[in-house]
Structure formats: structure tokens, C-alpha cells
Amino acid sequence: MDLKNPVILKRLKNIERIIAIVSGKGGVGKTLIASTMALTTAKIGFPSGLLDMDFANSSCHLVLGVDVLREKPIEDMGIVPVKIHGVEFMSIAFYTHGEALPLRGVEVDNVFKELLMITKWGKLKMLIIDTPPGFGDITLNIATYLPKVEFVAVTTSNLLSLESLKRLAKTYLKERILGVIVNMSHKSIGPSIEKMGFKVLAEMPYYNDLEEYVGDVDKLMKTEFAEKVKEAVLKILG
């Protein structure tokens, strides 16, 4: 893949900030946080976008309540993302009908490149990218081929998730991480996160009723969870 692919750079030129949401482990609520961040950015008055890069398990459309069998991006000198709740949204799920897309090796690179080359984003304050769990090919491609991308890491307070965050602190991605969102926390771990060299953007407890709001954006955005995510977004926007 060409590091300076002119088509990709042209597609991204009108985007002020690109924020990739990453996590070392699955099940930490990364997709819900990524989707809510994009919705929050739009709600406070800034043009925002959401790009689902989890090819094997695309789920952002479920949070947004988008029926990928009925709603499709339109073609106009590229593929124009679907506009939903004020957010420009693009996902491979539109073309896989919500099914998994198992890819290996060069196939990951090809789909990654193609999605960036065809998507015609508008002028955005912030584009949020949801990534697969772990720090595999897609996350490394994002770090390598999107020169202005910044990262937000999501963790929980459990030991395995924190160990993944410690390993992330030892990688070359660390300097590009804006901060950490602690989700489903049963205790305050802010000081521990800061000792790793990260800024804490938000800490939130486990919400028993949150799952029932998935797909109902109006209700989701009225939750305490959404308010906590808003805290993180405002810190990022400065």
C-alpha cells in the first residue's frame, strides 16, 4: 500500500480531526463509545463522521439503528456516507449485509485501502474510526497510512484489560494517544492510568440498562453514559 496514496489523502483532506478508538481486549464497550462520540460531536454542533473498520464484526450500525439491508450509501464521484442523526456513517456492513467478513493478510490491506479510497466524506470537525479489538493489521494500517490520526484507548478496570493497556504504553502508538476512557469500572483507576503516562478522558461505571438503548439513539443520548462520553469529547475538542 502506498503510504502517500493521493486518492486516500484527497478523500480525507476536509476532515479536521481523525480519532481512532482502540482497545487491547474485546468486550470493553469500544463500539458503543465510538458511536456515542460521533453522535455527541454532531449533537453539540460540529459535523462528524463514523467509520466502522471492524470488518469481521461490524456493529456500529446496530448502535445507530441503521438497517443495512434497506439504507445504502449513494454513488456520486465516490460513495457518499449515509447521514444518520447528523453523523456521516460508513461501514462495510452495507455491502456484507451485516454478516462477518473474514479476511487474511493482503485481503485486509486491500479492503482497508478500498474503503478509504471510495468514501467521499464531507467537511468534518471529527471523524471517529471504530477498530477491531487488539492491535492487529487494521490498527497498524490506520497508524501508518493516516498521517494525522490520533487515538483514544478504551479499557475496563479488570486486570486483563489493564495489562493490555500497559502493553500499549510500550508501543510506538503511545505518543499519538490522546487519552483513555475507562468503561464499566467498579473502582476508580485514574491514578493507575496516569502512571502509565496516559490522560484519563472519562471514567464511567457499569450501567445495567444500557443495552436496551442500543439502536434507540434518542434514548441513548439522554443517559448518564452519554454524558460521560461527552466529557471525553469536550476534552478532545479542547
- What integer pLDDT is reported at residue 1 of this predicted model? 45
Say if residue 2's pLDDT is above 60.
Answer: no
| Residue 129, in any domain of the structure | yes
For residues 218 and 84, give the distance between their C-alpha atoms in angstroms, rounded to a whole number.
12
3: left (phi over 0), alpha (psi -120 to 50) or beta: alpha
Say if residue 200's pLDDT is above 50.
Answer: yes
Least confident piece of the model among 26-35, 52-61, 167-176, 219-228: 167-176
| Residue 186, in any domain of the structure | yes
Q: Model confidence at 3, in pLDDT bands (50, 70, 90)?
A: low
| Residue 1, in any domain of the structure | no
| Residue 149, in any domain of the structure | yes
Q: Model confidence at 101, in pLDDT bands (50, 70, 90)?
A: confident
Contact residues for 3 (Cβ-Cβ < 8 A; gap 6+):
144, 145
Query: How many domains does the chain contain in total?
Result: 1
Whether pTM exceeds 0.85? yes
| Residue 214, in any domain of the structure | yes
- What integer pLDDT is reported at residue 103 of this predicted model? 77
Q: What is the domain range of residue 116?
A: 6-237
CATH number reported for the structural domain that contains residue 186 in this entry: 3.40.50.300
